[in-house]
Amino acid sequence: MQIVTFKAKMEETSTKKQSRIILALDFPYQNPAEPQKLLVKTQNLLGMVSPYICAVKINHHLVLPLGTFNGVQTLVNQAHEAGLQAIMDCKVNDIGATNQVIAEYYYAAGFDALIANPFIGWEEGLKPIFEVAQSLQRGVILLTYMSHKGATEGYGQTIIDPVTHTETKQYLAFAKKALQWNADGAVVGATVPEKIREIHSILGGNVPIYSPGIGAQGGGAETAMKAGARYLIVGREITQSTNPVAEAEKLSESTKQAK
């Protein structure tokens, strides 16, 4: 049986869709007593912008009010019908036994990949997730440097490399782990293009960089792409726009110009 990695699926999808934009389906707090309204709103938006994106990313904004195997699975199916990949932004960060269950549920709901936090380490940490993903031909994307200002307190801290015993930055150690663990991607905030550049110098073409924080958080699409980002994760810039279709189309075009 031929094994097709999530990394390869993403590249194929983005080429076919001629876009490197991943839509983050994030909405402000909605009335939990009216989940159907939120589902319909989300379905409508996804349907409108699907021609201009290559994937959709879902996190707690929708999982909590809609449920994994209810509304969220409906959205994952819709994404697949539109030829898109579906990523679960669960930022898995627990012990291995729990991580395995989390991965199994999200993959069972149809997600093609999930995002995990490398802070928890490999043994009895992320190893079970990678094993489940490999058995199902799904993906794991590592959270390497987040897009918010406080990221420097954790991902930007100085550590001692356990192998070389020299000082290094936490995010650079995580980039090396992404290579070592054969991750399908690494998340690096578009708000820190200098970090994208550093991490890309380690990852090269082996592990693609996914950059959130475009627009609302101050990150620039073309700047992130030129620094080495392969895919741009965009949420509020599209979801809260008065014209989400035009915004998605504009962002998609910007990724082509940055090549």
Total Cβ atoms within 10 A of residue 254: 18
Active-site pick, 91, 176, 226, 250: 91
Measure Cα distances from 244 to 25, 49, 58, 213 in Å. 12, 7, 17, 17
250 is catalytic: no
185-188 and 85-92 beta bridge pairing: unpaired
Exposed/middle/buried for residue 152 (C-beta within 10 Å: 0-12, 13-18, 19+)? middle
Dist CA 252 CA 248 (whole Å):
6
Dist CA 94 CA 72 (whole Å):
22
Give the catalytic positions in this structure. Answer: 91
